[in-house]
Amino acid sequence: MEIPLRYGCNPHQGAARIVVSGETSPLEVRNGEPSYINILDALTAWQLVRELSAATGKVAAASYKHVSPAGAAVAGPVSEEFARSQMLDHVPTEPTAQAYVRARGADRVSSFGDAVAVSHPVGPELAAILKREVSDCIIAPGYDRAAFDVLASKKGGRYLILEIDPDFEPPDIERRDVFGLTLEQERNRGRIGPELFRAGDGSGPIPDDVVETLVVATTALKYTQSNSVCVAWNGQVIGMAAGQQSRIHCTRLACAKAETWMLQTHPKVLDLPIPDGMRRPDRSNAMDQFIRWAELSEPERHALRSTLIGDPEPITAEERREWFRGFADLSLSSDAFIPFRDNIDRAAQTGIRYVAHAGGAVREEDVRSAAREHGIILIETGVRCFLH
């Protein structure tokens, strides 16, 4: 059987469809019309949340853009300050809602127009949150009737709702066509489990909450376009750098995103004088620009001031450093070995405490030495998780 698609990667690419072997499909289009990219995002995101939930025993969610996660998380308590930074009118209590709020909150700007994946059936609280967000589609193993009705009314009734059979297992061999040639390989069944992160560099056992956070970060990397580096904290991605050619560029980007994430709950950001009626995406952009004030040009600063009420006082460098001290056990994972110590030096600037990588670099001793100098616990997993 087949499922028709609106178009391929671009609107001028026709003849787009999903071909399913057999008479039944594990994927059902419940609402809307999918495109090629919608399906790539949704199916990649589903694999992430399914594995993450299996590894942690918790509800998992991901926010995907262009076949890489902008954020991913497992369910956990959401603080009032974080809910406020996400412009929510209440603190979510349903696990699927908690997980998604934590996932999207990793990078609200990048999550604009995302593909949502959750490991468990969707309830009314998550549907109500998504109703207000700019999002293109969702994939889940089921939907509460009331939640489905809310989502089906989104985008004028065109919001894409996909339902996946949670018990479906794909074949062991996967294939793709490139320039008329077919590539085959064994599907990546490498397990990202807690056992990979139990032993550090001899500094003692890794705390259970850190192990879970590293499972979240590394599972997210497994379904991120390489090269990639992820910073995570408290069971959630807070800085994802995807598809960079250089690992140091990955590390710089992931750490910069993590710093922005930490600062979004700073009092100066929460009290930013944003006028009533400003649209949510514009609020997100204003908060992001204010956090990055030191990087803005004078015309950019003038433009930001013109959208606000009053002239807010920027966060100083000392205030930033002091605020970062409140986030203990920041963790960083790399999808392959860290080749040079510059990655460790940059991670230390953000306050990273734990670093996990495959190990095996030619300059491994330089990397280990840098970690010791900065008091960073280095974990060598022996597992590479590239995705191309």
Joined together, the tokens standing for residue 294 give: 């030191």
- Rounded Cα–Cα distance for residues 25 and 204 (Å): 48
Catalytic one of 31, 38, 58, 65: 65
Q: If you compute the radius of gyration of the chain from its CA atoms, what whole number of angstroms results?
A: 21
**Secondary structure, 3-state, 291-310:** HCHHHCCHHHHHHHHHHCCC
- Rounded Cα–Cα distance for residues 63 and 283 (Å): 19
Joined together, the tokens standing for residue 148 give: 């489905």
Extract long-range pairs of 310-316: CB within 8 Å, 24+ residues apart: 310/273, 312/268, 312/272, 312/273, 313/268, 314/268, 314/290, 315/263, 315/266, 315/268, 315/269, 315/291
For tokens 């959630």, name the residue: 236
Catalytic one of 31, 38, 227, 343: 227
Q: Where are the alpha helices (DSSP H) in the chain?
A: 36-56, 80-85, 95-104, 124-132, 145-152, 208-222, 247-263, 267-270, 280-291, 298-307, 317-324, 342-350, 364-374
- Residue 139: burial class (beta carbons within 10 Å; 0-12, 13-18, 19+): buried
Name residue 31's amino acid. N
Catalytic one of 66, 131, 249, 268: 66
Task: Tell me whether residue 234 is one of the annotated catalytic residues.
Answer: no
For tokens 């030619």, name the residue: 362
- Rounded Cα–Cα distance for residues 254 and 262 (Å): 12
Task: Tell me whether residue 65 is one of the annotated catalytic residues.
Answer: yes
Joined together, the tokens standing for residue 20 give: 């399913």
Task: Tell me whether residue 388 is one of the annotated catalytic residues.
Answer: yes
Task: Tell me whether residue 227 is one of the annotated catalytic residues.
Answer: yes
| Catalytic positions, written as ranges | 65-66, 227, 388
